[in-house]
C-alpha cells in the first residue's frame, strides 16, 4: 500500500513538474533591421551589426537559466551580416523569417502572429534590436507578470518628463499607461488583446497602449492634460484618434495593467531615451 502511494506521488510530482516547466517556457519574437542608431550611448558600439550582437548576447545571458526559444524577424540584413550577428545564438533560434524592409508596423504585426502560433510557450516577449539588458532582466519581468498583464524592463524617461505620465506613486511597481514596442505578456492575455495591439499601424505605440490600459474616460482625461501642457500639445491629435477608436471599437474591452520595472533592467540604446535608473 505504501509503495503504491509512493508511486502515485512520484507520478503526480512528475506531472506537476512537467506542467510547471511548460508554463515557464519563454518565447521571444525579436525584430532586427540594419537602420543606424541616431545617438548611441557612449561606450557602446554604434555599428549596428555589433550593437545587435551585443543586445542578443545580453538577452541570452539573462535567459541562461530558463527554457526559451527565439523567433528572429530579419527585416533587411543580408546573409553574411546575419551570420555575424547570430554566431552561437543559432541553437536558440526556433524560426528565422526574412523580410525585405517591410518596416516597423508590418514586423510588429508579424510578431503578434508568430507568438500566437506556439501554444507550448506561456511567457511572451516582444523584442527589438536596439535595447540593452541587465542580467536580472528576465527574472524581474517574470516576477512582475504574476501581478500585471504587461511588463517592461524599460523605465522610460517620459514617465518623469511628461505630464501625461506623471504619477504621485512610488516608481517601484507603479502602473503606467504606455511603453514602447518592447514588452512582456502572457499567451492568454495576448490572445484576447491582439486586435488592440494591431492598432499600432493606425495609432502608434501610445495609441494602442491607451486602448489597453485606459477606459474611455481615462483617455479623455489624458487628452485634457496634454491640452494644458504646451510641450505635449503635439500628442493631442493622436489621443483624439485613440479616443474615437476606443469609443467605436473597444469601449467595453478590459482595462489592462502595465508596469515598468524600477530601477530599469533594460534601456534603449539612444542616449536621448536612456532608461531612468539604468545602472550601467
**pLDDT per residue over 108-153, tens digit each?**
999 999 999 999 999 999 999 999 999 999 999 999 999 999 999 9
**pLDDT per residue over 17-64, tens digit each?**
444 445 589 999 999 999 988 898 888 888 999 999 999 999 999 999
Contact of 13 with 19, CB cutoff 8 Å? no
**pLDDT per residue over 79-91, tens digit each?**
999 999 998 778 8
Predicted TM-score (pTM) above 0.85: yes
Distance of CA 3 to the CA centre of its chain: 48
Mean pLDDT value across residues 200-219? 98
The packing angle between helices 236-249 and 200-213, to 10°, is 70
Contact of 138 with 153, CB cutoff 8 Å? no
| Spatial distance between the Cα atoms of 144 and 151, rounded to a whole number of angstroms | 7
Amino acid at each position: 500500500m505504501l509503495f503504491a502511494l509512493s508511486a502515485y506521488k512520484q507520478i503526480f510530482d512528475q506531472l506537476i513538474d512537467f506542467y510547471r516547466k511548460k508554463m515557464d517556457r519563454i518565447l521571444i519574437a525579436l525584430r532586427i533591421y540594419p537602420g543606424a542608431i541616431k545617438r548611441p550611448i557612449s561606450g557602446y558600439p554604434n555599428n549596428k551589426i555589433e550593437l545587435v550582437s551585443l543586445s542578443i548576447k545580453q538577452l541570452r545571458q539573462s535567459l541562461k537559466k530558463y527554457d526559451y526559444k527565439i523567433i528572429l524577424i530579419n527585416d533587411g540584413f543580408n546573409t553574411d551580416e546575419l551570420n555575424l550577428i547570430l554566431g552561437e545564438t543559432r541553437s536558440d533560434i526556433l524560426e528565422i523569417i526574412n523580410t525585405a524592409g517591410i518596416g516597423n508596423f508590418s514586423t510588429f504585426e508579424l510578431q503578434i502572429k508568430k507568438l500566437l502560433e506556439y501554444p507550448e510557450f506561456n511567457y511572451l516577449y516582444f523584442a527589438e534590436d536596439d535595447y540593452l539588458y541587465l542580467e536580472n532582466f528576465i527574472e524581474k519581468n517574470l516576477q512582475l507578470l504574476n501581478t500585471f498583464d504587461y511588463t517592461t524592463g524599460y523605465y522610460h524617461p517620459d514617465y518623469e518628463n511628461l505630464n501625461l505620465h506623471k504619477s504621485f506613486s512610488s516608481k517601484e511597481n507603479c502602473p503606467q499607461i504606455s511603453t514602447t514596442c518592447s514588452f512582456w505578456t502572457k499567451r492568454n492575455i495576448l490572445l484576447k488583446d491582439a486586435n488592440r495591439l494591431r492598432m499600432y499601424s493606425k495609432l502608434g505605440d501610445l495609441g494602442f497602449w491607451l486602448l489597453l490600459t485606459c477606459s474611455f474616460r481615462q483617455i479623455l482625461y489624458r487628452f485634457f492634460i496634454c491640452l494644458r501642457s504646451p510641450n505635449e500639445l503635439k500628442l493631442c491629435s493622436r489621443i483624439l484618434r485613440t479616443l474615437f477608436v476606443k469609443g467605436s471599437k473597444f469601449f467595453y474591452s478590459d482595462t489592462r495593467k502595465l508596469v515598468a520595472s524600477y530601477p530599469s533592467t533594460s534601456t534603449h540604446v539612444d542616449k536621448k531615451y536612456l532608461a531612468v535608473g539604468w545602472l550601467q
